[in-house]
Amino acid sequence: MIVLLRAGAGAEAARAVEAELARAGAGARRVTGGERLAVETAGPHAPLDDDARARLAALDGVEALLDAPDPNPRVRAARGPVEIASPRGPFAVGAGELTFAFGPCAVDDERELWLAAAAARAAGARLLRGGAFKPRTSPYAFQGHGAAALKALRRAADAHGLAVVSEATSEAALDAVAAECELVQLGARSMACTPLLRAAARAGRPLLLKRGFGATVDEWLAAAEYLLDGGAPGVILCERGIRTFEPGTRATLDVGGLALARLRTALPIFADPSHAAGTRALVAPLALAAAAAGADGLIVECAADAGRARSDGPQALALDELAPLARAAAAVARAARKEFEVCSRPWQIQSTPRSSASPR
């Protein structure tokens, strides 16, 4: 935002603007030219709310507040929880309680999948996760059992009263995944594949959009804008870690990015601590951190026997770890939210979109 001062307004007016911006959480930088002085916001900050804008506009010497249109108007305007169908009837994601999606990285042994589904159910999960089409770095790695895996997921989920979430890695896979799964995942590697986004938007199912590990929060929200613009009946965001120089974890779970997205949209946001951790011992701390930072749900990998898993065994929780993790995460989320409105209102979503950007 740029706070344009009236011609002739001087340093004192600029200082007052800078102070008001600081109170609103924004840094400031002066720009000058000819007889004009203005102050532009600098550094990270939430969109200024109506009160802050009114205070700025009322300051001596302020002529106008200049804003860029929001690049993602549908993401900004989106409201309320996302409803997901399930064998036991629909449930809402983002309505206050944490939602859990547990299951194996890739579907392989059906008996183990049923054990995982039973443990997920017992731990309070609403969703069974499992990979049918696996995007793998090497062409020689196990790529998933495809349609057969989807059928197995469906059977296990139906038997345990769970909805299914699984990834569609291509337009060709979308129909099959949408046919069997109540929630269709778009993975981190394909977040920027806009033709896939457009096709997924037409699949008729709510979508779980993972953030690309090389994508900024703004790019992630723009990918969600593709989905909403294309008619997706619901979009859930999912933070899963970004690429950084730190080699000790598989990715760096960006809880700040999650909280930043929360400031910009009311879409529900999940976190995937498993892929960020890369190893079992780090899954729980990351899951709880995400719950504390405001995640609406957690998608976590587990395995009946990590030693037999055909992908990502080292980061799979044991089945008996699911229930304690779910209890701890729920307790953390409750504790975080209880004090939150008093404390700093970070999750208060502005009710009026600032700009009248027309999406077309």
Residue 341 CB, nearest distance to its own copies (Å)?
9
Question: Which residue lies nearer to its own copies by CB, 129 or 134?
Answer: 134
Instruction: For the chain, give the longest Cα–Cα distance.
Output: 77
Residue 87 CB, nearest distance to its own copies (Å)?
28
CA 107 to chain centre: 24
Cβ atoms within 10 Å of 54's Cβ, excluding its own: 11
Contact 174, 344 (CB under 8 A): no
The answer to whether residue 58 forms part of the interface with its own copies (CB under 8 A) is no
The answer to whether residue 222 forms part of the interface with its own copies (CB under 8 A) is yes
User: CA distances (Å), 225 to each of 72, 221, 303, in order?
Assistant: 6, 6, 34
User: CA distances (Å), 223 to each of 81, 238, 244, 260, 301, in order?
Assistant: 19, 12, 21, 16, 25
Question: Which residue lies nearer to its own copies by CB, 95 or 172?
Answer: 172
**Which stretch in 80-88, 149-157, 175-183, 281-289 sits in contact with its own copies by CB under 8 A?**
281-289
- The β-bridge relationship of strands 2-5 and 36-42 is antiparallel
Residue of 93, 120, 186, 289 that binds its own copies (CB under 8 A): 289
Residue of 258, 267, 298, 299 that binds its own copies (CB under 8 A): 258
Residue 126 CB, nearest distance to its own copies (Å)?
20
The answer to whether residue 116 forms part of the interface with its own copies (CB under 8 A) is no
Gap between the Cα atoms of 276 and 255, Å rounded: 11
Gap between the Cα atoms of 343 and 276, Å rounded: 29
**Which stretch in 97-105, 156-164, 168-176, 202-210 sits in contact with its own copies by CB under 8 A?**
168-176
The answer to whether residue 104 forms part of the interface with its own copies (CB under 8 A) is no
| Helix axis angle, 110-122 to 322-338, nearest 10° | 40
Question: Which residue lies nearer to its own copies by CB, 42 or 95?
Answer: 42
Chain residues 183-212 in contact with its own copies, contact rule CB under 8 A: 189-190, 192-196, 212
Question: Which residue lies nearer to its own copies by CB, 156 or 260?
Answer: 260
Gap between the Cα atoms of 341 and 334, Å rounded: 13
The answer to whether residue 12 forms part of the interface with its own copies (CB under 8 A) is no
